[in-house]
Amino acid sequence: MYNFDVVVPGSVAEAVAALGEEDAQALGGGQTLIPTLKQRLASPSVLVSLSGIAEIKGVCKTDDGQLSVGGGTTHATVAREAAGTFAGLAGLAGHIGDPAVRNRGTIGGSLANNDPSACYPAAALGTGATIITNAREIAADDFFQGMFTTDLEEGEIITEVRFPVPEASSYQKFEQPASRFALVGVFVAKFADGVRVAVTGASNDGVFRWDEAEAALSANFAPEALDGLTVSGDDMINDLHGTGAYRAHLVGVMAKRAVAAAS
Amino acid sequence: MPKDSGIGASSKRREDVRFLTGQGNYTDDINIHGQAHVHFLRSDIAHGTINRIDTSAAETMPGVVRIFTGADFEALGGMPCGWQVTDKHGEPMQEPKHPILAHGKVRHVGEPIAAVVADTLEQARDAAEAIVLDIAELPAVVDMKAAVKADAPKVHDDLPSNLCYDWGFVEENKAATDEAFEKAAHVTTLELVNNRLVANPMEPRVAVGEYARGTDEHTLYTTSQNPHVIRLLMGAFVLGIPEHKLRVVAPDVGGGFGTKIFHYQEEAFCTFAAKACNRPVKWTSSRSEAFMSDAHGRDHVTKIELALDADNNFTALRTDTYANMGAYLSTFAPSVPTWLHGTLMAGNYKTPLIYVNVKAVFTNTVPVDAYRGAGRPEATFQLERVIDKAAQELGVDPVALRRQNFITEFPYATPVAVEYDTGDYHATMDKVLELSDRAGFEARRKDSEARGKLRGFGINCFIEACGIAPSNLVGQLGARAGLYESATVRVNATGGLVVMTGSHSHGQGHETSFAQVVADMIGIDENMIEIVHGDTSKTPMGMGTYGSRSIAVGGSAMVRATEKIIAKAKKIASHLLEASEGDIELKDGAFSVAGTDKSVAWGDVTLAAYVPHNYPLEDMEPGLEETAFYDPSNFTYPAGAYTCEVEVDPETGVVSIERFASADDFGNVINPMIVEGQVHGGIAQGIGQALLENCAYDENGQLLTASYMDYTMPRADDLPGMADYIVDHSCQTPCTHNPLGVKGCGEAGAIGSPPTVINAIIDALRSGGHQVDHIDMPATPAKVWAAMQG
């Protein structure tokens, strides 16, 4: 690591002010940033830890029936507290990394980083969630803009994520053998007005919605509705762990499994 | 009845108390007052000419003590190679210079270019970033077959080519072998890769150099499996320090798996720099550095052919292997694909004619050397895969084909220059088929199929040569070291013993099992015996631990020294008991006179040795301390039969190991619990090689799997549950030529398991109608799925 200062603000307003400093960097759970710092691949002058901000932590139901998750809420907390209201999301959170990761990593950090192999982007896009920052509200469909790229402005902090709660949902992840990140992860959510399907891990453009599957499942929410549907492997990630064609194939397999497991 | 102490007892591992309570003393725990830290600036390209290294700005950075480059080591010897292989024309191998810090060229990603010594590690890292490098990148050579082409870039400009040696074994058998292939009723051919692995011991390498100006004494603390070997190589060949002025200490070491056998540049550097800087100098490898500086393992590309007669008897075997040496010759690298590989190609079978060709090749990659099994897994994998393929082609049962060709009479001289002393291959096969319930397999397969899965059964046999090794033999084969082992047994006045062994424990549990042997011989409590290892100032010159040699060679030295102790103690007892020496018996820690009730306790005899008031001083020296060096007369030949059942998910290609069983013949067993742990661990590593682990480079020589994000280590959930993970060592044909009748168990699991897994996967895929002949390791889901797509 290079030397840096750390500040631990107690409110969003203080954090926003601190992030105004030159080369300041927000620190969520640190599950990506800390390893990056240890490898000397980043050199912020000041780290603004978001871990001391009580107002962006916690899980609750909103008046209009959505599930509100504070941006600073850990995966372990979501896994525990969303289990009764939104099992698909709790299941996703409960299978990110290992217990150490789940007790440090936060939903806001995951979404802001938008790692192409991260799990949470699939849930946000797969439910049409709203990402709320200190400045505005962003629809998930507008938020994700390709690998490691989002609509967030410099210094903008995710304070809350508001999930419409589906009638049934499931996230099925095929793990990359070494990292156990998603080689392919598919989130399927069934709402009264249709089905959404979001895919993470697979595409060079990051998380995406699988339109054809959404249409087919909206007509018939059953695994066999996906028979014969394929996604193209052309824009899929091609690496040591799988070709684009393999990932494209897994999208279909994981989507079917998600429909079968949806509850 | 299981024994509760001594040989054959599952005594709890005494060293685990300190390991599990954080009381271990690992090399990184050693911090010496005034120590400085070194950070190595390593090459981030695979091949290039060093035009200039400008350290001027870096030298002015805070805390910098001194910055070293290759130029500082020009006057010294480079890193030595401990084994010279002679090629098939009788010429010695090509042996390049191996500098401590790169000189003239960089030849692999991770090669150290400069070393920055500073007050703190962070200061050293900061200063390393200020070093200005002017390195002209050269085309890299990674693929071995491309490397031996005439127009390939040369890794070493002063060598004729990238070919280290072209070895033929046994050259005299070549013509007869070729003729047998021409006459064969059936020939099975298989081309395969034995994947490159990174050892990944839990503890990364560490070195701390210290120099005492007042006495001119050097000390190196290092993560080594063999401190005496390091002292000899580094003192005599690298730094020119006489052994009496050089102490090497390898304290608690957290796993080695072979990669801590070798003498590394960082060890020589820290020893050298401690004197040059007049400060202790410490280096602790990061995990990232370990991936690109620890010697890698395996990396063979092989074509194997098996000839059979009309009755399915094996008549000849022929192999053609390319073995990757990496950019330089690591300490024992040349011996691995030759003497530890070619000599094992007979396996468990009476094939009369065998010819092995190995081309060792330099590439712009990290050096490759011994890794758990070292040559023997490579031999076993190709042999057992080609036998399975032959069974498939001939439509015969793979078990029956193996049984038909088993060696059944011992001793057995193979056509590849070794003589198996004992074994019973039908017995281990019978045992493993019973343990694995092969009879119930078809029912389990139907159950899997009902759940949409393909199930396969894999069988495998193996033999290894352990108890390394007769010194006169290995000397003829090119070893530049002896391979005996040593022990000093020091009895204290009040009866406790200290055994100073040249073996080294880095996970094997020697402190427990070695004590069991001595306790058993004397008939005293194991807790009266302390095992000391890992310090050249305490232990006699010994060769260390690798090649499943410790109990077979180091244990035998300890037995011989203890026998000398007992012989002398009996003389003392005969004096004390006023009886003839021939009438003295030692039992349960007491000496008695045969046929009488006269006896004297062990402690009384040991006290007499050191307080010799009533003692035959005119006939015998006082004291009770003996040393023995044991040089084995042959290798030992552990062997076994393994089975594996896998389920393959046809939708994704995921392979899961549902059941695994092993029946090993290790000869006599000292501590069954430790042996079972060794085999469980070895199989886990073998499953890692078969399904998960792969060290990959791109065509430019960049290491693609440089962290655990991409290099897949086996984890507990990759293995079957303990009830389906059966290890058995009840088939025992004791070794005939060492005093304990032991053979060694450390590598067996890693040797026997990879082909077992692949054989099972092929069986599963073929049961699903997929005409797959072979899948190269690791059989990842992507690869298995692709194979099913045809």
Is residue B603 within 8 A of residue B590, CB to CB? The reply is no
A interface test, pick of B710, B718, B776 with most A CB neighbours within 10 Å: B710
Of A109, A134, A163, the last residue of a domain is A163
Tokens coding A238? 């091609």
Tokens coding B481? 């070291």
Three-class secondary structure assignment of B624-649: CEEEEEECCCCCECCEEEEEEEEEEC
pLDDT tens, B15-72?
Answer: 999 999 999 999 999 999 999 999 999 999 999 999 999 999 999 999 999 999 999 9
Of A163, A189, A205, the last residue of a domain is A163
Give the confidence band of B633 by pLDDT, cuts at 50, 70, 90: very high
Which residues of chain B from 160 to 189 reach within 8 Å of chain A, CB to CB? none
CA dist B337 and B371 (Å) reads 12
Whether residue A181 is found in the same domain as residue A235: yes
Whether residue A140 is found in the same domain as residue A184: no
B600-B601-B604-B609 Cα dihedral, nearest 10 degrees:
90
Sequence-ordered list of residues with C-beta below 8 angstroms from that of B118, at least 6 positions apart, any chain: B36, B37, B38, B39, B61, B63, B64, B65, B124, B127
Measure B780 CA to nearest chain A CA, in Å.
8
Examine residue B778 and say whether the peptide bond preceding it is cis (omega within 30 degrees of 0): yes
Residue B780 to residue A177, Cβ atoms within 8 A: yes
Sequence-ordered list of residues with C-beta below 8 angstroms from that of B432, at least 6 positions apart, any chain: B459, B640, B641, B642, B643, B661, B662, B663, B728
Whether residue A69 is found in the same domain as residue A140: yes
Whether residue A157 is found in the same domain as residue A177: no
Q: Which CATH architecture has domain B15-22+484-630?
A: 2-Layer Sandwich (3.30)
What integer is the mean pLDDT of B496-523? 97
Residue B125 to residue A39, Cβ atoms within 8 A: no
Taking the Cβ of residue A246 and every Cβ of chain B, the question of whether any pair is shorter than 8 Å is answered with yes
Residue A178 to residue B781, Cβ atoms within 8 A: no
Whether B77 has a pLDDT exceeding 90, the answer reads no
Residues of A in contact with B288 (CB under 8 A): 39
Residues of A in contact with B125 (CB under 8 A): 40
Taking the Cβ of residue A112 and every Cβ of chain B, the question of whether any pair is shorter than 8 Å is answered with no
What's the domain range around A110?
54-163
Of A124, A145, A163, the last residue of a domain is A163
Q: Which of B129, B651, B704 sits opposite A240 (nearest CB)?
A: B704
Whether B173 has a pLDDT exceeding 80, the answer reads yes
What integer is the mean pLDDT of B748-777? 98
From A256, which residue of chain B is nearest by alpha-carbon distance?
B651
Is residue B743 within 8 A of residue B637, CB to CB? The reply is yes
Mean pLDDT, rounded, of chain A = 97
Q: How many residues does chain A have?
A: 263
CA dist A60 and B225 (Å) reads 56
Q: What is the CA radius of gyration of chain B?
A: 27
Whether B4 has a pLDDT exceeding 90, the answer reads no
Measure A173 CA to nearest chain B CA, in Å.
12
Measure A165 CA to nearest chain B CA, in Å.
30
pLDDT at B790: 87
Q: Which of A1, A240, A243 sits opposite B705 (nearest CB)?
A: A240
Q: How far is CA B164 from the centre of its chain?
A: 22
Q: Give residue limits of the domains in chain B.
A: 15-22+484-630, 31-139+205-284, 300-403+411-469+634-789
Whether residue A66 is found in the same domain as residue A142: yes
pLDDT tens, B561-600?
Answer: 999 999 999 999 999 999 999 999 999 999 999 999 999 9
What integer is the mean pLDDT of A66-74? 98
Sequence-ordered list of residues with C-beta below 8 angstroms from that of B440, at least 6 positions apart, any chain: none
Specify whether domain B300-403+411-469+634-789 bears CATH 3.30.365.10.
yes
Mean pLDDT, rounded, of chain B = 97
Whether residue A43 is found in the same domain as residue A59: no
Which residues of chain B from 277 to 306 reach within 8 Å of chain A, CB to CB? 288
Measure B715 CA to nearest chain A CA, in Å.
10
Measure A101 CA to nearest chain B CA, in Å.
14
What integer is the mean pLDDT of A161-173? 98
Measure A192 CA to nearest chain B CA, in Å.
31
Residue A243 to residue B711, Cβ atoms within 8 A: no
Taking the Cβ of residue B692 and every Cβ of chain A, the question of whether any pair is shorter than 8 Å is answered with yes
Residues of A in contact with B656 (CB under 8 A): none
Superfamily of domain B31-139+205-284: Aldehyde oxidase/xanthine dehydrogenase, a/b hammerhead (3.90.1170.50)
Is residue B662 within 8 A of residue B502, CB to CB? The reply is no
pLDDT tens, A205-254?
Answer: 999 999 999 999 999 999 999 999 999 999 999 999 999 999 999 999 99
CA dist B633 and B365 (Å) reads 37
Q: Which of B125, B651, B782 sits opposite A243 (nearest CB)?
A: B782
Which residues of chain B from 551 to 590 reach within 8 Å of chain A, CB to CB? none
Residues of A in contact with B124 (CB under 8 A): none
Whether residue A111 is found in the same domain as residue A38: no
A vs B: CB pairs below 8 A: 40
Residues of A in contact with B698 (CB under 8 A): none
CA dist B146 and B46 (Å) reads 16
Phi and psi of B700, rounded to 5°?
-95, 5
What integer is the mean pLDDT of B739-761? 98
Whether residue A26 is found in the same domain as residue A80: no
Look at chain A and report how many structural domains it folds into: 3
Whether B2 has a pLDDT exceeding 70, the answer reads no
CATH code, domain with A70: 3.30.465.10
Taking the Cβ of residue B772 and every Cβ of chain A, the question of whether any pair is shorter than 8 Å is answered with no
Whether B1 has a pLDDT exceeding 60, the answer reads no
Residue A174 to residue B652, Cβ atoms within 8 A: yes
Residue B785 to residue A246, Cβ atoms within 8 A: yes
Taking the Cβ of residue B656 and every Cβ of chain A, the question of whether any pair is shorter than 8 Å is answered with no
What integer is the mean pLDDT of A21-46? 94
Is residue B497 within 8 A of residue B491, CB to CB? The reply is yes
Kindly list the distances between the CA atom of residue B233 and the CA atoms of B78, B252, B331, B539, B547, in Å, as whole numbers in the listed order. 10, 21, 9, 17, 19
Q: Do domains B31-139+205-284 and B300-403+411-469+634-789 have the same CATH topology?
A: no
pLDDT at A5: 97
Tokens coding B578? 């006023």
Measure A243 CA to nearest chain B CA, in Å.
8
B interface test, pick of A4, A249, A251 with most B CB neighbours within 10 Å: A249
